Amino acid sequence: MWESLLISAMYGGLGILLCAFGYKLFDIIETKVDFAEELRKGNMAAAVVVASFLLGICYIIGRTVGG
């Protein structure tokens, strides 16, 4: 039981790290828009774009890591 819990926690941590890396890579590639600044301003359109991107990345990572 503890082994499966540890493995699940490791996969969860890996998924979070890969999602953060994917967001940073997206932020580096997309140089025309500073998403962090737009989010600070309260730009809902930028928030929807970032949320959609993160959901897509998390889905891909989940399907890859989870099998």
Amino acid at the residue 19: C
User: Which 8-state DSSP code applies to residue 7?
Assistant: H
Per DSSP, the three-state class of 23 is helix
pTM score, whole prediction: 0.66
Q: pLDDT digit string (tens) for 6-62?
A: 888 888 888 888 888 888 888 788 778 888 888 899 999 989 988 888 888 888 777
pLDDT of residue 67: 57
Is the Cβ–Cβ distance between 54 and 23 less than 8 Å? Answer: yes
pLDDT of residue 66: 66
Domain housing 54: 2-66
**Count of domains observed in the chain:** 1
Cβ neighbours for 58, distance < 8 A, ≥ 6 positions apart: 15, 19
pLDDT of residue 40: 94
